[in-house]
Amino acid sequence: MERHMIHVDEIAETENGISIRIHGYDAEQERDFTSILTYEDGFLRGDCLDPKKDQYQKVV
């Protein structure tokens, strides 16, 4: 069984928060992915978050 992998390529401060560029491998879907996450006002946003959940994930 293969494992999920994630690599952080870049973390940058933006005007509104933090931008995080990542890439990795999704073992469940058996595919590579690339995504940009943003952290603003206590929320983590990004297209690679679980689509079944709200796209705004509160970070505690």
Asked if residue 44 lies in contact with residue 51, where contact means CB atoms within 8 angstroms, the answer is no
* Tens of pLDDT, residues 39-52: 998 888 887 775 55
| 58: pLDDT strictly greater than 80 | no
Counted domains in the chain:
1
Contacts of 37 (CB under 8 A, 6+ apart): 19, 20, 22, 44, 45, 46, 48
Read off the pLDDT band of 60 (50, 70, 90): very low
Q: Which domain holds residue 18?
A: 5-58
* Tens of pLDDT, residues 8-22: 999 999 998 999 999
